[in-house]
Amino acid sequence: MPRTARQLSKTHIYHVMLRGNERKNIFEDAEDKARFINTIYQKKEDNSFCLYAYCVMDNHVHLIIKELEHSISHVMRRIGTSYASYFNKKYKRIGHVFQDRYRSEPIENERYLLAVIRYVHNNPVKAGICKIQEYKWSSYQCYIQRVKDKDEMVEYEEILGCFSKDRSRAITLFKEFSNQEYNDEFMDMEDNMFDEDEAIEYINSFLIEKGISLESLRQRKYKEERDIIVKELIEKSTLSLRKIAEVLGLNRETVRRISVANVSKEPSL
């Protein structure tokens, strides 16, 4: 299951998502969320990208970014490295903070851009946390009122201009648009991830392809096959380490060791 190549955007605008390693929280308190937002702001000061929207949740982040001086990969590496360093130092831990590489989808037109901005700002509503205007950790407030120290962070004037040349009317229309129900589908936490049934289907296909049984994975001579299937399930499924051990009939500590070894071999954000 090789990684697929990223789709490049002709407009250089992307919807980007970062999530916690093993789906763990990457923000434990308000200080962490504020730090991440400030990190974005600091990295943006050199004019390396434009920011149209953001939403910081407990275990993932949504960003809408336009490449300028630097590529999206360079931008995300700088943001991720800075925050991971802070997080590991604060909580006296080592290893990955973010799961795998960041995920992205291209945004090619104005209609889709506006729709994704609405979706990003509605993340806390979808999660049942609060109303869109009550959430402190998204860029929605930048659009509907002036926010001290964040006025230049988000390109809200450009987006509001899509609704009306009159700023007051544009804000009113933006609020109405943001609160509309929608059926559009966007990149989300569960996109392209195996659920339990799909994971079991993948396991069976893998075993048939290799010509081995599930019990064989416990044998030393099939260590390579065992490690491959465990790594794939960690990276590509919604299963916890405990559940992976259960469905494969492996010791939980064995799965944990494979997970740790996998992290140590990957470039840290």
pLDDT at 248: 92
Residue 36 lies in a domain: yes
Indicate the pTM of the whole model.
0.69
Domain with residue 43: its CATH number is 3.30.70.1290
Percent of the chain with pLDDT over 90: 54
Token couple for 242: 């405990």
Q: Report strand pairing: 49-56 vs 13-19.
A: unpaired
Structural domain tally of the chain? 2
Q: Is residue 47 part of a domain?
A: yes
* CA gap 182, 180 in Å, rounded: 6
Residue 149 — pLDDT band, cuts 50, 70, 90? low
**39 and 154 belong to one structural domain:** yes
Q: Is residue 93 part of a domain?
A: yes
Same domain flag for 174 and 210:
no
Residue 185 maps to a domain: no
Residue type, 106: P
Name the domain boundary from 178, 204, 236: 178
User: 140: closest CA among 48, 37, 42, 68?
Assistant: 37
Burial 106-134 (b: 16+ CB within 10 A, else e): bbeeeebbbbbbbbbbbbbbeeeeeebee
Q: Are residues 127 and 96 in the same domain?
A: yes
Which of 178, 206, 235 terminates a domain? The answer is 178
Q: How far apart are CA 3 and CA 233, in angstroms?
A: 14
- Give yes or no: residues 48 and 168 share one domain: yes
Judge if 51 and 114 occupy the same domain.
yes
Q: In this predicted structure, which of 37-51, 89-103, 171-185, 219-233 has the lowest mean pLDDT?
A: 89-103
Distance (Å, whole) CA 136 – CA 30: 10
Q: Which of 54, 32, 190, 27 is nearest to 121 (CA)?
A: 54
> Are residue 133 and residue 220 in the same domain, yes or no?
no
Residues 167 and 93 in one domain: yes
The mean per-residue pLDDT over the stretch 158-170 comes to 95
| Helix/strand/coil for 172 | helix
**Between 260 and 151, the higher pLDDT residue:** 260
- Whole-angstrom Cα distance, residue 262 to residue 231? 7
Amino acid letter, 221: K
DSSP letters along 37-63, please?
A: HHHHHHHHTTSSEEEEEEEE-SSEEEE
* Phi, psi values for residue 228, rounded to 5°: -60, -50
User: In the prediction, which pLDDT does 189 show?
Assistant: 52
Q: Are residues 58 and 150 in the same domain?
A: yes
Per mean pLDDT, which range of 24-33, 90-99, 119-128, 259-268 is the poorest?
A: 259-268
- The answer to whether residue 4 is domain-embedded is no
Residue 188 lies in a domain: no
For residue range 186-196, what is the model confidence (pLDDT) as tens digits? 766 555 566 67
Same domain, 33 and 116: yes
Which domain, by its residues, includes 174?
A: 13-178
Does residue 52 sit in the same domain as residue 153? Answer: yes
Domain boundary among 109, 144, 178: 178
Residue 1 belongs to some domain of the structure: no
Give pLDDT, residue 186. 74
The Cα-based distances of 14 to 36, 81, 148, 177, 186 in angstroms read 19, 20, 26, 21, 12
Query: Same structural domain for residues 142 and 234?
Result: no
pLDDT at 147 over 70: no
Using CA atoms, how far apart are residues 94 and 140, in angstroms rounded to an integer? 33
Is 35 found in the same domain as 166? yes
